[in-house]
Chain A
């Protein structure tokens, strides 16, 4: 059964201090060629029946993302294992 994946990212114009903190830590790993890091959230949704992208979009718009500060994308990914079997 395909799974719905919602990716939520801060809008480009919203400062992402977490991403900045990570970017600032990279030189300590010896990484000096990263221009920017942005941190978002990935949400996996398994419907009881067929996945419903429209419904997932509604969930994302009303709850998973705050459209004032965040953008989201909704997509289907193939999965052949139940969500709760993954470590």
Chain B
């Protein structure tokens, strides 16, 4: 059976269409979810896409965290539901306390939009299991508030537990501590990533097809996961 991967649309989401498309290209069935609807409609995994949910008012992701759909997702994530937060989705996951730390204004204050090399640091997550350890991938980064910060104890814990999922190489685009581009929760089912794998799934529009690996990974994870 084809895995059903939900993609949430918040007011101000931008990349929900591309995320749903990436799911389909990877071989999954995208299911559009609405922020105001607490039902997950039987999806096997969820993507929180990039954009500016609720206009980024107050702090990026701060209002989206209280959306009805998020309450259900927080509970389901505790039960093992794979959740990928991309860019604004990563910010929402941090605000919802599914991931530690926070994303703050880029250190140089400029919005950064470029193709970015990453090194995959953890292939044990639901979203990175089809990558090779240390694999370099090229996917677009585009953010104004992508600077990952956490206290030293949290950073050390992430490193010690192998929960840094990807790091920026060839230049840190936003000042993120320890070049962190993506992290995961202790169980490895929740991943937040600042760059955009959903924009690197087709030769016509992306710098590579490297982004596809995140979506094929979750499909592979779901095949192996208990129902």
Contact = CB atoms under 8 A, between A and B. Distances in A.
B58 A64 contact: yes
B95 A66 contact: yes
B17 interface: no
B109 A68 contact: no
Interface in B122-143: none
Chain A interface extent, by class: 10 to 19
A69 B61 CA distance: 14
Nearest to A21: B109
B102 A66 contact: yes
Interface string A22-59: 00000000000000000000000000000000000000
A21 B106 CA distance: 12
B112 interface: no
Interface residues of B, number: 18
B101 interface: yes
B58 A18 contact: no
B172 interface: no
B144 to A, nearest CB: 11
A52 B191 CA distance: 38
Given A63-B62, A63-B66, A64-B58, A14 B108 contact: no
A66 B149 contact: no
Given A14-B104, A63-B66, A68 B58 contact: no
Contacts of A21: 109
Interface of B: 58-59, 62, 66, 94-95, 100-102, 104-109, 149-150, 175
12 contacts: A14-B149, A15-B107, A17-B105, A17-B107, A63-B58, A66-B102, A68-B100, A68-B101, A68-B102, A68-B149, A68-B150, A69-B102
Given A15-B149, A17-B107, 7 more contacts: A14-B149, A17-B105, A63-B62, A64-B58, A66-B59, A66-B102, A68-B102
